[in-house]
Amino acid sequence: MAKAEKRIPVREETFERLGEFKGAGETWDDVVNALIEVRQRQNRRDLLERTDDDEYVALGDL
C-alpha cells in the first residue's frame, strides 16, 4: 500500500507545544500516534471507572 501523506493545519502555538513531545529521531507520525495511544488508554480507564460498581454479572448470564 502506498504511503499517504496528509496535512493537518495547526496554529504556531500548537505546533510548538507538540514539539515538546518530539524526541530525537522521532517523526511527527510517531508523536501523533503516541498521543493517540495515551488518549485511548485514558478513554478505557474512564469507561471502566464509569461502569465499575459492586454488582458483578457473569458474562454467561447476560
Domain count, the chain: 1
In a domain, 11, yes or no: no
Host domain of residue 33: 24-50
- Residue at 5 is within a domain: no
Q: Is the pLDDT of residue 1 over 60?
A: no
Q: What is the pLDDT of residues 20-48, one digit of tens each?
A: 999 999 999 999 999 999 999 999 888 88
User: What's the whole-number mean pLDDT along residues 7-20?
Assistant: 96
According to the model, what pLDDT value does residue 60 have?
A: 80
What is each CA distance from 60 to 34, 55, 57, in whole angstroms?
36, 15, 8
Residues 6+ apart with CB under 8 A from 10: 18
Residues in the chain: 62
